[in-house]
Amino acid sequence: MDNDLDICYENAGEDGEDENPEISDQEIEPTEPPVDKPSRADVLAAFDTLVKFSQTSAELEQHQKTVLRKL
């Protein structure tokens, strides 16, 4: 993280000195709340559900076409 800040200061043409030393990094509040990331297991379970739903939908559509052809 410090390297990123150094790069920003270099790109801005500054030497890394804070313009306002009264404000520390800890006092700066994030603009958005932190986001809880889903676990890998949750992501895989959701993906599996989507795949099964997709397959079921395709099978249902094929069945409907077969039934309609018989009418």
Backbone φ and ψ of 34, nearest 5°: -65, 145
Q: Which residues of 32-47 are buried (b: 16+ CB within 10 A; e: fewer)?
A: eeeeeeeeeeeeeeee
Low-confidence stretches of the chain (pLDDT < 70) are 1-30
pTM: 0.37
What per-residue confidence (pLDDT) applies to 41?
92
φ/ψ (deg, to 5) at 19: -70, -35
Q: Give the per-residue pLDDT at 17.
A: 54
Give the whole-angstrom CA distance, residue 65 versus residue 57.
12
